[in-house]
Amino acid sequence: MNGQLIKSRGTLGTAPVFLTAISTILGAVMFLRFGYAVGNVGFVGTMVIILIGHAVTIPTAMALAEIATNQKVEGGGEYFIISRSFGIIPGAAIGISLFLSQAISVAFYIIAFAEAFRPVFAWLAVSYGIHIADARIVSVPAVILLGVVIITKGADVGLKLLYGVVGILFLSLVLFFLGSTNYTSSLSYTNFIDTVANPNDFFLVFAICFPAFTGMTAGVGLSGDLRDSKRSIPLGTMAATLTGMFIYIAIAYKLAISAHPTDLNTDQLIMAKIALWGPIIPIGLACATISSALGSALVAPRTLQAIASDEIFPFKSLAAWLALGKGPASEPRNSSIVVICIATVFVMMGDVNVVAQVISMFFMVTYGSICLISFLEHFAADPSYRPAFRSKWYISLFGAMACIWLMFKMSMSYAIVSILVMVALYLWISYNNPDRRGLASIFQGAIFQISRQLQVFLQKSSRHTTEERWRPSVVCISNHSFERLNAFNLLRWIAHRFGFGTYIHYLEGYLSRDSVAISQDVFQRLVRLTDVSHSNIYVDTLTSPSYTTAVAQVAQLPGISGKENNLMLFEFAQDHPEDLTDIITNFRMVAASGFDVCILGSTSRDYGFHREIHVWITPDDFDNAVLMILLAYIILGHPDWDEGEIKLFATFPTDEIDEQKERLLGLIRDGRLPISAKNVELIPADTGTGRKQLICRQSRDADLIILGLVGEALLHEKEKIFKGYEALGNILWVNTKKEIQLSREETSEPEPMDPAATNGETPEIDPGEPSESDALAIDKTDE
């Protein structure tokens, strides 16, 4: 925000807020269309309209009072509140719509002001033969005169004029209530539901009357000119809203007992025939409309000035000109010129009925946004949100939902147009301000609370569950995040749909100011990496004096799913296996902590063309087979592997081939994994060819190879286990400490197959289309 706007001290109190709001609330609709409302829907129907209208305005006023007492509201009023809560970009999109509504409202009220001269036109025609058909003879000079007053004299003179205008307005209301007609004594109070024949639709009447209830936030636009905005805004706004509601109820009652529905429907100035002195009603209409126009003319420039001060427009020189203020109060005279020009254009058009409906839509968007901000602040439970006045979360939520509902009830087409305009503004502002906060900032607090509640729920529910449904919750630790992306990519594939992934970048050292600065820089790079790769993994950094302490800390991290992590992923480069020593040293600690362990050997071939995943099973690591196949299936579920397939190779002694084939095919069939039987190859182990030789020959073109890892063998052979595969692509070694049951029903056992029925051939098995629930509803029990 422009420093001049923030540092200048306001001089106004609560009265200007109240007067600006009440003068906008008690406008042209009250004099010209409230009789029409009573005539078409009756007194009871009009009461319902008033109550529904205030079901929007009262929650908005309460939300506004709440937000205003939590933070200092600078220049711009409603725009300042919305932009500082929703973020600059969505706030500016709503703010521009709000500004246009306020600016065009000036024209709307001036045109209504000219309608107050219709009796004068009729008198001139009868008395002097001067026929005036075009009310623009009054409206055009009026808007120009209003502009001269606002631009040259500023808010102080405008508010002095506002005092006089509001005084006349209330005098006209007093004389109206003191008046009477012959119809009064003949009306039965039971006929309050009487309407004209063939009345207009209720929501059409509501749409026409709703602008009468808007305007209670007009005084917020003076926030930058107030001495104590935290006190003046809630007090003035709530007082104006409640005062307006009671006045409208009283007017509806007075109209119902004073005139027949037909007269109320046809005579726009029926209030003049009821008032104690008839001419006061056109005078009051003129005052009401000019006061509403004056209120909008005071507020709209300040909204535009605040938007320009935030530098969201692509034209910097124009923004600087609009943001410029005059005098110690930073009067927005340049923005006032723009407002008066817009108002003059629409006054020259002479009819803004269509535009007026769009104006109402934009006001509804503004009111709904304010209510939504209040609701989200309640839901987020932010400790920095401590307003002196508190609304209720359900009142704010009701107000927001009511705004959306009424938009579409009033006019489906105009509601859609308004939403499209808002979206277009948002996209335009986002395009020109790529570094500003967007929609992501709106729901952060609410998402935090939802995430917290879900994690607590999952943790508590798992405590009462007798059987655990296994789902990969993987944590990876690496200090080569930007040199080698193989582990990062593997983790994002696992976490894409079926699992959860946490990626930790390890920084060796001790925690200090310098190390924190380095970790923050690395963290931002990781976040960008997740953004450009469209991954669903959670990233973070960890500074620790040694790799062992880092692994120990990572092993104790809570999982982002709400449950504990169950699989730890390590990574090393096969051509530079220096990291293997640390991995092997810490393997026993990780396995003892109950983790499944995966070790990825990366090569310069990366993952090739993402076409083939080869899974190798031997008698020694058969316990790892289920997790190996399951991980292959999960990886294959990522769009990067859309054209990929799994090939399963198993090496067993010749005399066990038939038995192991039955067992293996039963496992595939019951697990519902997408492995065709033609992709399963059993290789006798006693052919004179070593296991590594077989793998190097059969999988030399594979894009990912998954091998089993036996813990005892790793501790004895150490780095030797990983050597001999230098000519292959990436290899994932898998070790599990628990048995994973792939079948959907834990009691089901694969039926033995008749070898004779297959003639020694591997049968074709169509496992069907796998579903997420089939693949992931997996029972996991300790060995």
Dump the DSSP string for 428-496: HHHHH-TTS--GGGTSHHHHHHHHHHHHHHHHHHHHT-SSPEE--EEEEEES-TTT--HHHHHHHHHTT
Cβ atoms 355, 346 nearer than 8 A:
yes
Q: Report pLDDT for 773.
A: 33
Q: Report pLDDT for 23.
A: 75
Q: Report pLDDT for 661.
A: 74
Is the pTM higher than 0.85? no
Task: Give the lowest-confidence range in 379-383, 550-554, 607-611.
Answer: 379-383
Average pLDDT over residues 738-766: 41
Q: Report pLDDT for 751.
A: 38
Full DSSP string of 274-292 = HSSSTTHHHHHHHHHHHHH
Q: Report pLDDT for 434.
A: 76
Maximum mean pLDDT: which of 12-21, 314-323, 380-389: 314-323
Token match 């709503």: residue?
94
- Strand bridging mode 612-617 / 704-708: parallel
Q: Report pLDDT for 593.
A: 87
Average pLDDT over residues 157-175: 78
C-alpha gyration radius of the chain: 37
Q: Report pLDDT for 190.
A: 56
Distance, in Å, from the CA atom of 612 to the CA atom of 409, rounded to the nearest integer, reads: 56
Q: Report pLDDT for 288.
A: 77
Residue 781 above 50 pLDDT? no
Q: Report pLDDT for 752.
A: 36
Task: Give the lowest-confidence range in 337-351, 397-411, 728-742, 748-762.
Answer: 748-762
Residue 704 above 90 pLDDT? yes
Distance, in Å, from the CA atom of 406 to the CA atom of 412, rounded to the nearest integer, reads: 10
640-694 per-position pLDDT tens digit: 998 888 888 888 777 777 777 777 777 666 654 446 666 777 777 665 667 788 8
445-465 per-position pLDDT tens digit: 777 777 777 777 766 766 555
The rounded mean pLDDT for the chain is 79
Q: Residue 398: which of 50, 59, 66, 51 has the closest Cα?
A: 59
572-606 per-position pLDDT tens digit: 988 888 888 888 888 889 888 889 999 999 888 88
